[in-house]
Structure 1
Amino acid sequence: MSGAAALAGAVTGIQVGAAMVATRFVLDQTGPASLALLRYAIGALVLLPVLLATARVRIAGRDLLPIALLGVGQFGVLIALLNLGLQTVPAGRAALLFSTMPLLTLVLAVAAGRESPSVPKVTGVLLTLLGVALALGEGAFTGGPGWAGEAAILASASCGAACTILYRPYLGRYPALPVGVLAMLASIAFLAMPAAAEGFFAAVPGFTAAGWLAVAFIGISSGACFWLWLWALGRATPTRVAVFLTLSPVAASVLGGALLGEAVSPALAAGVACVALGIWFAHRPLPEGRPVRG
């Protein structure tokens, strides 16, 4: 994995955590589907001018629907399942459950023949999970029973893992930008339905000035970082990109403590070090003679 692809993955992982903090800040001012619609509508508006200013790429008709469905899965189904789980599962436990996405990505990629398992890769993924658990502290394990919510969050992580793998063939045929714009536009069409049920189109959203700034940050950063995410996926195996998502709960913990006054685990530094060590392990090269797929 090149240094540029690793940097793109790391920036995206941190952005996901920062967007979680901004979402928590503004979610009491609107519904979850309405916020998701605004997020990806702004993201698409950020990417469209860049796409129009660059060389035109025609996506084959047979690929339009699969890419659109991937967008619906990643931005619609994933978010719906995650929000459903967050209704009953404490935020710390939810973050830990969702951070299993790199491990799920590795399992699915191996099952699909897209990657070969290796000791460094498996060790790295497990170390990042341990690091997230340490960073979140005991809050990741406390709370009442909520198996249905936990199942929804794991299903959300599984959806993200599957999309991460399934994007790869299309990123081998087309640049990341047109793929990202098409996927995001499809998700907007999907999210318009639940947003309408929340009354999004009945009146102008009543955000405060700070709320609009948070929405703008969420949308602009999501558009830019989704482009970076796809760009990295086109240049590295799915697991090696997905492992950077373990930075998101760590970033959310740090920013939530600094900006929202949320409790920060005393073991945060140890968790960050463990996540960094896991990412390093996951990106160690295989011994000579071992094949690499994807």
Structure 2
Amino acid sequence: MNRILLAHAAAAGAALSAGAAVVATRFVIGETDPLSLVFYRYLVAVFCFAPFLPMLWPRGGLTAAECARIAMFGILFFVLFPWAFNASLELNPAARGAVGLATIPIQTLLVAAAFGRERLSKAKIAGVLLAFGGIVVAFGTAAFANGSGSYLRGDGLMLLGVLCAAVYSVFSRPTLMRHGPLFVTALGMAFAVAALLPVLAFKAGGALLPSFSARGWLAVLFLGTVAGTLQFSLFMLALRWLPPTTTVLYLTLNPIAAMVLGIVVLGEGLTAELVAGMVLVLAGITVGSGMRTGSAKPAAAEP
């Protein structure tokens, strides 16, 4: 019972941290490009994980197949997803990006159901639709005020990134169960950084030292620590004990948290749309997750 409650708390904490990450990304994205920001963010996170990786290493070691699986998951979730997310925010307003990001529980539910990893239920469908409706209510006016034709490329990138996150959420659970969420997160990030290193070196002509402003460095450090090491550790912990759709349903708190943070930090106005959207999102999470402490069980390990 306590484990499941902690998993719900971890999912909520990860989503709130991700909301702060959106604000930090907006601070620094003008000083670099989407792929470079992904690299430096997870390089910081890998340095945070490095002292603990030997202690987390499985006693029996890893087979080549297991290493390949974790590497594939790492590239999918720590390279393709954040790159598409960052690139989308370069092209589209943040509000429109928030609506695209809110499709993650819908895509996860469809992927899980299509491959028999999770059973569709009326509660899950209702919860997903309520949460998505909340994001549309909160951000719809700002997202669609200027039409859609000029934003189609950004929309496509966001939906592609969300699909990567959905596939990861559905298929990574057995690996998380076998080796533990912290180890899989740390090693997956390390593989992602290793995959990006030659790409960035070629792109920069061998010069990898970034030239961020003081504010940019603070944003990158925040993205790598609180919104990197901590955020993804919490997300993986939740994903280990909760169904994929329930875990990602909490991510609809992400844009709401970012908007609330904008009100607190930047003095932006509180709108009726935000309040109504927040109520719908919270209702969706409550309905979709069931909030029954005994309703979720960890996934069985892969053969």
Pairwise CA distance, 1:197: 5.2
**In the alignment, structure 1 residue 7 sits paired with structure 2 residue 9:** yes
Aligned partner of 1:111 among 98, 108, 114: 114
Aligned-residue sequence identity (percent) comes to 35
Aligned to 1:43: 45
Aligned to 1:147: 152
**In the alignment, structure 1 residue 170 sits paired with structure 2 residue 175:** yes
Aligned to 1:75: 78
Residue 194 to residue 23, structure 1, CA distance change in 2 (3 Å):
farther
Aligned partner of 1:256 among 248, 257, 262: 262
Aligned to 2:253: 247
Pairwise CA distance, 1:192: 2.3
Asked whether the equivalents of residues 121 and 283 of structure 1 are also in contact (C-alpha less than 8 Å), the reply is yes
**In the alignment, structure 1 residue 273 sits paired with structure 2 residue 279:** yes
Moved more, 236-245 or 135-144: 135-144
Asked whether the equivalents of residues 93 and 142 of structure 1 are also in contact (C-alpha less than 8 Å), the reply is no
Q: TM-score, normalised by structure 1?
A: 0.90
Q: TM-score, normalised by structure 2?
A: 0.88
Aligned partner of 1:226 among 225, 232, 241: 232
Residue 256 to residue 190, structure 1, CA distance change in 2 (3 Å):
farther
Moved more, 132-141 or 121-130: 132-141
Asked whether the equivalents of residues 136 and 264 of structure 1 are also in contact (C-alpha less than 8 Å), the reply is no
Aligned to 1:34: 36
Asked whether the equivalents of residues 137 and 266 of structure 1 are also in contact (C-alpha less than 8 Å), the reply is no
Aligned to 2:212: 207
**In the alignment, structure 1 residue 19 sits paired with structure 2 residue 13:** no
Structure 2: tracts of 5 or more residues without a match = none
Moved more, 240-249 or 228-237: 228-237
Aligned to 2:194: 189
Asked whether the equivalents of residues 20 and 252 of structure 1 are also in contact (C-alpha less than 8 Å), the reply is yes
Residue 30 to residue 293, structure 1, CA distance change in 2 (3 Å):
closer
Asked whether the equivalents of residues 96 and 140 of structure 2 are also in contact (C-alpha less than 8 Å), the reply is no
Aligned partner of 2:244 among 235, 238, 246: 238
Structure 1: tracts of 5 or more residues without a match = none
The 1-side partners of 2:112 and 2:177 are apart by 16
Pairwise CA distance, 1:136: 2.0
Asked whether the equivalents of residues 242 and 298 of structure 2 are also in contact (C-alpha less than 8 Å), the reply is no
Aligned to 1:130: 133
Aligned to 1:121: 124
Report how many aligned residue pairs link the two structures.
292
RMSD between superposed Cα atoms in Å: 2.5
Aligned to 2:64: 61
Asked whether the equivalents of residues 114 and 293 of structure 1 are also in contact (C-alpha less than 8 Å), the reply is no
